[in-house]
C-alpha cells in the first residue's frame, strides 16, 4: 500500500483511503507511523472537503491516543468523528466509532461501558446487513462477555462469529474467535476441548504467516502453556512459552513478551534453576527499560502531533466558513442594481455612524476601508449604468418623439413620401433603441449573476449556419460580400444560445463598420486541441484609444457605423463576458482604416 502512494496518477480520494488504512494497521505496531498517515489523510481530506476521510482519520487517531494512555485526547477524536458521521447519516461510520469506543473502555477496565458500545455497534451492523462487520462485532462482544463472566452469552456469540467469519473468509478474526472459545473452555474446566481450540488458532496462524492475528497466536501459546502447567507437564509448558517468546519478539508484542519472561523467571526461581532465572529476569528488566524509553519517545511525539491535528481542524473550519460566505455572496447577487445603490448608501451611513459612536470598531478600520472601496466600485458601476440609460436610450427616444410630434402637427401639409421617410427614420431609431435595451438588460443580468450557463456538445458549422445565412442577406443590402468557411466536425462544449449571441454581435459589428463593396469573412478550423472561430472585415477599424479600452466600462466609447448606425458600446463587453463564462478566449486585432479581426478560441471537444 505504501508503494502504491508513489504512483503520481493515484487520485486524492484513493490516497485518503490508503493513508487511513495504513494508519489503522500501523496503530497496532507503530503509533508514530499511524499518526503520520492519519495526518496525511486529514490534510488531503481538508483540501478536498472529504468529511468521511476526516472522520475516519479522527477515529484512528482516537484509537492510537487511547492505546498510549492519552484517554482524554482519544475521546476528543472519537467524539469529533462521531459528530461528522452522525451529521452525514453514515451508519457504518457510526458503528465503527462505537467499536473503537468499546475497545477504549476495555483498556480502562470499564466492562459495562464496553458491553454497551459493542452492543450498539453490533445492532447497527445487523441493521445494515454487513456480514463482515457483524462477524467482528460478535467476536468483540463475546470476548467482553468472557471477561465479565457471562459464559452462555459468550459461547453463543462466539459460535455465531465463527460461522460468519468462515463464510466471509476472514481467517484472522476466525483465529481470535477460536482463542476466545479456548479461554472459555478453560474457565469451564474443559481443558482438552480448550486445547483443541488453541490448536486451531495455531493452525490458522501457520497458514496465514505474516498476515496472522498476532495477539490471538501468542494468546493461544500462553494458554496452552498454562494448561500444561496445571497438568504439571512442565516440558510442554516450557516449549509453548519459548515459542511464544520467539513469536512475540518477531511481532513486537512487548506486553505479551514481558508477561512470558516474567512467567519463565518465576518458574525457574520456583524450580531452583537460578542461572536461568537470572537470565530471563535480566531480559525482563531490559525489555521494561526499552518499553519505557519507547513509550516516552512515542508519547512525546504523540503530544507534539496534537497541534498539527488542531491546525488541520482549524483549516477545515475556515474552509467551511469560506464556503458559507461564498454562498451568501451568490444570493446577494440577485438584488437589482437600484436596490444595491440604496444598500450602499445605507451601509456607508451605518458604518460612519458606528465609527463615531463606538471606539471598539477602530480595531476593524482596515476591514471597513476594504468594504468601502468595494462599495464605491459598485456605486461607480451603478452610476455608469444609469448614465448609459440616460444618454444612449433617452436621446433616441427624444428623437422619435420629435419626429412623431412633427408628423402629427404637419400631417395635413406633408407629402406621402415625406411621411414614409419620417416613419422609416422612426422605425430605424426604434430598432436601434431596442438593440441597446437588449444589450443593457443582458449586461445588467450578467452583473447580478442572473445568467445561467447551459453547456452542451455543439457542432460549430451546423449551429451557426442559420446566423451566417441571415447576415449574408443583411450584408448584401449594404453591398458587402460575406464569405464563410468551416471545417467539418468542429465540436466544442459551450452554451449554444450564448455562442449564437456572440456571433450575432460580431457579424452585426462587422456589417456596421464595413463600407459598401467591402468584405467580411467568418471561418472555423481546428489547430491541435483548439477550435478557432474568426470574424474578419476590411472596414474602418478602431483607433488605438478605443481598442485598448473596449472591455472597460469606465472608458466605454461607441462608434457610429459607416451608414451612421449607433450603438451602446456594450456589445463587445457582453461577448467578452459570455465567452469567459464558456471557458473561451476573445482577442482583437484592429487598425484604423484597415479593418478588424476578432478571434474566438475554445477547447476542442
Show the cell assigned to 388.
Answer: 448609459
Indicate the range of 45-59, 74-88, 133-147, 253-267 predicted with least confidence: 253-267
Q: Report the pLDDT value the prediction gives residue 251, as an integer from 0 to 100.
A: 47
Residue 42 to residue 546: CA distance in whole angstroms:
52
Count of CB atoms within 10 A of residue 84's CB?
20
Q: Kindly tell me if the per-residue pLDDT of 150 is higher than 60.
A: yes
On the question of pLDDT at 303 being above 60, the answer is no
pLDDT at 407 over 80: no
Between CA 146 and CA 392 the distance in angstroms is 89
Q: Note the pLDDT tens digit of each residue in 481-525.
A: 999 999 999 999 999 988 988 998 899 889 989 999 999 999 999
Question: What mean pLDDT do residues 305-329 have?
Answer: 54
pLDDT over 80 at 199, yes or no: yes
Give the residue-averaged pLDDT of 235-252: 77
Grid cell, residue 520, equals 467580411
pLDDT digits (tens, 9 = 90+) for 354-395: 666 666 656 656 666 666 665 665 565 566 556 555 555 665
Interval 263-268 mean pLDDT: 80
Mean pLDDT lowest for which of 174-178, 186-190, 397-401?
397-401
The whole-angstrom separation of Cα 111 and Cα 116 is 9
| Higher-confidence position of 449 and 50 | 50
Higher pLDDT among residues 260 and 322, named by residue: 260
Q: How far apart are the first and last CA of the chain?
A: 36
Asked whether the predicted pLDDT for residue 563 surpasses 80, the reply is: no
Can you give the pLDDT at residue 520? 95
pLDDT confidence of residue 27: 76
For 273, phi then psi, to 5°, come to -90, 80
The residue among 513, 460, 449 whose CA lies nearest residue 490 is: 460
CA separation, residue 190 to residues 161, 181, 187, 443, 462 (Å): 21, 11, 8, 88, 86
Mean pLDDT of 550-554: 68
Other residues' Cβ atoms within 10 Å of the Cβ of residue 304:
10
Residue 232 and residue 61: Cα distance in Å, rounded? 45
Pairing of strands 585-591, 595-603: antiparallel
How far is residue 256's CA from residue 213's CA, in Å, rounded to a whole number? 14
Estimate the share of the chain in helix, then strand, then coil, as percent rounded to the nearest 5.
Answer: 75, 10, 20
State pLDDT tens for residues 91-123.
Answer: 999 999 999 999 888 888 888 899 999 999 999
Give the range among 37-46, 105-114, 547-556 with minimum mean pLDDT: 547-556
What is the distance between the alpha carbons of residues 126 and 157, in angstroms, rounded to a whole number?
Answer: 13
- Is residue 229 very low, low, confident or very high in pLDDT (cuts 50, 70, 90)? confident
Greater pLDDT, 448 or 406? 406
Q: What is the pLDDT of residue 448?
A: 60
Locate 556 and state its grid cell. Answer: 466605454
Q: Is the pLDDT of residue 567 over 70?
A: no
Residue predicted with more confidence, 558 or 112: 112
Among 49-53, 331-335, 412-416, 551-555, the least confident range: 331-335
Residue with cell 519505557: 292
Report the chain's mean pLDDT, rounded to a whole number. 81
The pLDDT score that the predictor gives to residue 383 is: 60
Query: Which comes out higher in pLDDT, residue 487 or 270?
Result: 487
Amino acid at each position: 500500500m505504501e508503494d502504491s502512494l508513489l504512483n503520481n496518477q493515484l487520485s486524492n480520494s484513493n490516497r485518503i483511503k490508503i493513508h487511513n488504512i495504513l494508519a489503522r494497521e500501523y496503530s497496532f505496531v507503530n503509533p508514530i507511523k499511524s499518526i503520520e498517515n492519519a495526518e496525511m489523510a486529514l490534510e488531503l481530506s481538508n483540501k478536498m472537503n472529504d468529511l468521511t476521510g476526516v472522520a475516519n482519520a479522527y477515529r484512528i487517531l482516537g484509537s492510537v491516543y487511547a492505546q498510549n494512555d492519552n484517554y482524554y485526547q482519544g475521546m476528543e477524536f472519537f467524539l469529533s468523528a462521531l459528530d461528522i458521521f452522525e451529521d452525514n447519516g453514515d451508519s457504518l461510520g457510526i458503528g465503527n466509532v462505537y467499536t473503537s469506543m468499546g475497545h477504549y473502555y476495555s483498556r480502562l477496565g470499564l466492562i459495562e461501558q464496553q458491553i454497551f458500545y459493542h452492543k450498539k455497534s453490533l445492532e447497527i451492523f445487523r441493521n445494515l446487513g454487513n456480514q463482515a462487520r457483524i462477524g467482528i462485532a460478535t467476536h468483540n462482544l463475546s470476548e467482553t462477555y468472557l471477561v465479565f463472566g457471562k459464559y452462555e452469552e459468550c459461547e453463543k456469540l462466539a459460535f455465531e462469529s465463527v460461522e460468519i467469519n468462515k463464510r466471509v473468509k476472514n481467517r484472522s478474526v476466525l483465529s481470535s474467535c477460536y482463542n476466545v472459545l479456548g479461554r472459555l473452555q478453560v474457565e469451564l474446566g474443559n481443558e482438552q476441548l480448550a486445547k483443541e481450540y488453541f490448536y486451531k488458532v495455531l493452525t490458522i496462524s501457520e497458514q496465514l504467516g505474516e498476515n496472522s492475528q498476532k495477539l490471538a497466536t501468542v494468546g493461544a501459546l500462553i494458554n496452552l502453556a498454562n494448561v500444561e502447567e496445571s497438568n504439571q507437564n512442565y516440558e510442554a509448558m516450557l516449549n509453548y512459552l519459548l515459542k511464544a517468546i520467539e513469536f512475540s519478539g518477531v511481532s513486537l508484542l512487548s506486553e505479551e513478551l514481558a508477561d512470558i519472561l516474567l512467567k519463565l523467571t518465576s518458574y525457574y526461581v520456583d524450580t531452583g534453576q537460578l542461572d536461568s532465572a537470572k537470565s530471563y529476569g535480566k531480559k525482563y528488566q531490559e525489555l521494561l527499560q526499552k518499553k519505557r524509553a519507547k513509550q516516552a519517545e512515542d508519547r512525546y511525539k504523540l503530544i507534539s502531533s496534537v497541534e498539527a491535528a488542531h491546525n488541520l481542524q482549524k483549516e477545515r473550519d475556515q474552509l467551511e466558513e469560506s464556503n458559507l460566505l461564498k454562498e451568501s455572496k451568490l444570493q446577494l447577487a440577485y438584488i437589482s442594481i437600484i436596490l444595491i445603490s440604496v444598500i450602499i448608501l445605507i451601509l456607508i451611513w451605518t458604518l460612519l455612524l458606528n465609527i463615531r459612536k463606538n471606539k471598539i470598531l477602530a480595531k476593524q478600520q482596515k476591514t471597513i476601508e476594504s468594504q468601502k472601496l468595494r462599495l464605491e466600485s459598485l456605486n461607480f458601476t451603478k452610476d455608469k449604468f444609469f448614465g448609459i440609460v440616460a444618454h444612449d436610450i433617452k436621446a433616441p427616444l427624444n428623437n422619435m418623439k420629435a419626429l412623431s410630434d412633427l408628423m402629427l402637427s404637419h400631417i395635413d401639409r406633408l407629402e406621402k413620401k415625406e411621411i414614409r421617410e419620417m416613419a422609416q427614420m422612426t422605425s430605424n431609431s426604434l430598432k436601434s433603441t431596442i438593440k441597446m435595451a437588449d444589450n443593457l438588460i443582458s449586461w445588467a443580468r450578467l452583473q447580478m449573476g442572473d445568467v445561467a450557463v447551459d453547456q452542451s456538445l455543439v457542432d460549430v458549422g451546423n449551429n451557426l449556419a442559420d446566423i451566417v445565412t441571415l447576415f449574408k442577406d443583411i450584408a448584401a443590402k449594404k453591398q458587402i460580400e460575406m464569405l464563410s468557411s468551416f471545417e467539418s466536425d468542429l465540436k466544442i462544449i459551450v452554451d449554444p444560445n450564448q455562442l449564437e449571441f456572440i456571433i450575432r454581435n460580431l457579424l452585426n459589428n462587422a456589417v456596421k463598420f464595413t463600407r459598401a463593396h467591402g468584405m467580411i469573412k467568418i471561418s472555423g478550423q481546428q489547430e491541435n486541441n483548439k477550435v478557432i472561430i474568426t470574424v474578419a472585415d476590411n472596414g474602418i477599424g478602431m483607433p488605438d484609444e478605443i481598442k485598448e479600452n473596449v472591455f472597460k466600462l469606465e472608458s466605454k466609447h461607441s462608434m457610429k457605423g459607416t451608414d451612421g448606425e449607433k450603438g451602446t458600446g456594450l456589445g463587445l463587453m457582453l461577448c467578452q463576458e459570455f465567452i469567459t463564462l464558456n471557458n473561451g478566449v476573445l482577442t482583437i486585432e484592429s487598425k484604423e482604416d484597415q479593418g478588424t479581426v476578432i478571434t474566438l478560441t475554445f477547447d476542442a471537444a
